[in-house]
């Protein structure tokens, strides 16, 4: 009953917020990057909301429950390292006045082919990533509302189409609402967990005494240092070139706003991850039996529905919904821009009227959401591992050309192209060797792929230069 009432209230709030965002959109630039006019506060809200996904909330807490604090090193530290790289790229990126990130390949390297490739990468990765988000949402909501999984993922489908329809302004408006609800959800979860202990120290002392098979001690490294470091770097590199963050750099009204947006958001996120880590640790003590009976992604829902259930649990439910919706709508919008701005102009050479671009973009959003919904009926085994593979594709394909092109004047399209191909080949070889969804590796596949991409980038930049001089 509580969940249904909370869900209804949330639906009403989203309807109101989404309606407000519909009105401002006039141009394609408005639709995809809010007319590049975003001020600091909305930018922080949308950046944080996009970052903090259902995978963060549910997957991260579950991972901490199982593996202890080393998860912070493997994921959060890497993400924040990526945020540091984002601050560095603000000025070079804004110089190119981008609507989509693959546009960088065209504007920096003069290559339409690379732009189209970038667009395709964005579409593929985001479809996959949206599936993760929908699945995460479906698992939690079906558990909490005690309804069918299919029905719960259909609910998120309705929300994401509605909140993305109005474009970037709509996404920002609903993100503002979503992040507030998400933060409240995280705080309430942490409060309900921590309040059952005398102190935070008590949580740590009690949690460290729990014997969880592989995860013996929450304060010790269960995984090898190489795994922790390379996984962390892989997350960081992926985050530093993830279009959902780079687009938000483009959408701000100035470089300073973009830098402040990243910096302030990191503080908010650090606070939220800390609370979730404590929730995971508390859950480990309060419900150790979950270790053997539920998968990692369902730990969170079990905790809030059984272990720490209260009248406030409804707020936590909509916090999860908000985290999922705020990430998915941003990704859907970028996916649509990848198709309409990066791919279509290369195929259909004639200029398309602005109002038609907007309508087609909305159509792409509906189609992509429907495809993702259809693919979500069979959910992947583990959200975080799956997410890591997708992010790896971004780190391999986008990182070297974007950061390399920004700091090295000589960089050319030959180097950029070769780095993408080499990186992908090495990564797929590595993944195939270890098993695609096998999370037990000694070195994250991104590391050798990244090195190969870097070598080929430098090598082919020189070869390309020689070739052009000869021509």
Kindly list the residues in this chain that would bind other proteins in the complex (CB under 8 A).
1, 4, 7-8, 11, 15, 18-19, 22-23, 145-148, 151, 154-155, 158, 161-162, 165, 353, 355-356
E strand or H helix that includes residue 258: helix 255-286
Q: Residue 60 or 165: which CB sits closer to other proteins? A: 165
Residue 174, phi-psi category: left (phi > 0), alpha (psi -120 to 50), beta (remainder): alpha
Task: Supply the minimum distance, in Å, between the C-beta of residue 355 and other proteins.
Answer: 6
Least spacing, CB of residue 11 vs other proteins, in Å = 5
Query: In terms of CB distance, is 126 or 162 closer to other proteins?
Result: 162
Q: Which is nearer to other proteins, 352 or 374 (CB)?
A: 352
According to DSSP H, which parts of 75-148 are helical?
A: 77-94, 103-109, 112-145
Cα dist from 119 to 6, 66, 106, 126, whole Å: 38, 37, 11, 11
Q: Output the six-digit token pair for 169.
A: 């302004």
CB of 370 to other proteins, least distance (A): 14
User: From the CB of 75, what's the least distance to other proteins, in Å?
Assistant: 33
Q: How far is the CB of 29 from other proteins (least distance, A)?
A: 16
Q: Please tell me the distance from the alpha carbon of residue 175 to that of residue 398, in angstroms, as a whole number.
A: 26
- Taking the complex as a whole, the smallest distance from the CB of residue 417 to other proteins amounts, in Å, to 39
Nearer to other proteins, 103 or 175 (CB): 175
The residue among 366 and 421 lying less far from other proteins, judged by its C-beta, is 366
* Rounded distance between C-alpha atoms, residue 211 and residue 52, angstroms: 30
Compute how many other C-beta atoms are within 10 angstroms of the C-beta atom of residue 354: 14
Please give the backbone phi and psi of residue 195, each rounded to the nearest 5 degrees, phi first: -65, -15
Query: What is the nearest approach in angstroms of other proteins to the Cβ of residue 145?
Result: 7
Nearer to other proteins, 18 or 387 (CB): 18
CB of 267 to other proteins, least distance (A): 31
Between 5 and 205, name the residue whose CB sits nearer to other proteins.
5
Would you tell me how many other CB atoms lie within 10 Å of the CB of residue 191? 16
Residue 229: both structure tokens together: 């470091």
Nearest of 118, 122, 156, 142 to residue 370 by alpha carbon: 156
Token couple for 328: 């998915």
Cα 273 to chain centroid, rounded: 15
Contact between 141 and 147 under an 8 Å Cβ cutoff? The reply is yes
Q: Which two tokens stand for residue 269?
A: 């996120």
**Which CB sits closer to other proteins, 160 or 411?**
160
């Amino acid at each position: 009953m509580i969940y249904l009432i909370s869900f209804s209230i949330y639906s009403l709030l989203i309807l109101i917020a989404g309606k407000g965002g519909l009105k401002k959109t006039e141009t394609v630039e408005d639709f995809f990057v809010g007319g590049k006019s975003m001020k600091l506060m909305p930018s922080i809200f949308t950046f944080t909301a996009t970052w903090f996904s259902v995978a963060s909330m549910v997957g991260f807490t579950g991972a901490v429950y199982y593996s202890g604090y080393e998860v912070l090193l493997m994921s959060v530290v890497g993400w924040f390292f990526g945020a540091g790289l984002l601050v560095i790229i603000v000025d070079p990126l804004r110089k190119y006045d981008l609507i989509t990130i693959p546009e960088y390949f065209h504007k920096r390297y003069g290559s339409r082919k690379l732009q189209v490739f970038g667009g395709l990468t964005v579409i593929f990765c985001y479809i996959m990533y949206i599936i993760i988000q929908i699945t995460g949402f479906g698992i939690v909501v079906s558990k909490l509302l005690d309804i069918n999984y299919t029905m719960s993922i259909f609910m998120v489908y309705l929300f994401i189409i509605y909140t993305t329809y109005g474009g970037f302004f709509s996404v920002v408006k609903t993100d503002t609402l979503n992040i507030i609800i998400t933060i409240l959800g995280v705080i309430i979860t942490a409060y309900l967990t921590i309040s059952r202990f005398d102190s935070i120290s008590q949580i740590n002392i009690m949690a460290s005494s729990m014997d969880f098979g592989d995860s013996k001690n929450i304060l010790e490294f269960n995984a090898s240092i190489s795994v922790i470091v390379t996984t962390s770097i892989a997350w960081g590199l992926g985050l530093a070139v993830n279009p959902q963050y780079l687009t938000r750099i483009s959408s701000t009204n100035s470089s300073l706003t973009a830098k402040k947006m990243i910096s302030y958001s990191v503080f908010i996120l650090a606070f939220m991850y800390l609370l979730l880590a404590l929730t995971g640790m508390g859950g480990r003590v309060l419900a150790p039996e979950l270790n053997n009976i539920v998968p990692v992604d369902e730990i969170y829902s079990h905790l809030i529905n059984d272990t720490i259930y209260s009248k406030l649990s409804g707020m936590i439910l909509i916090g999860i919904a908000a985290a999922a919706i705020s990430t998915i709508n941003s990704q859907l919008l970028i996916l649509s821009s990848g198709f309409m701005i990066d791919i279509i102009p290369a195929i259909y050479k004639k200029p398309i009227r602005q109002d038609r671009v907007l309508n087609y973009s909305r159509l792409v959003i509906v189609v992509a959401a429907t495809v993702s919904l259809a693919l979500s009926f069979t959910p992947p085994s583990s959200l975080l591992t799956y997410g890591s593979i997708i992010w790896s594709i971004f780190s391999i394909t986008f990182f070297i050309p974007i950061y390399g092109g920004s700091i090295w004047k000589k960089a050319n399209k030959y180097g950029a192209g070769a780095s993408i191909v080499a990186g992908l080949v090495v990564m797929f070889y590595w993944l195939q060797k270890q098993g695609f969804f096998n999370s037990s590796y000694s070195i994250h596949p991104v590391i050798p792929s990244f090195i190969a991409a870097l070598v080929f980038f430098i090598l082919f930049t020189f070869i390309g230069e020689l070739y052009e001089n000869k021509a």
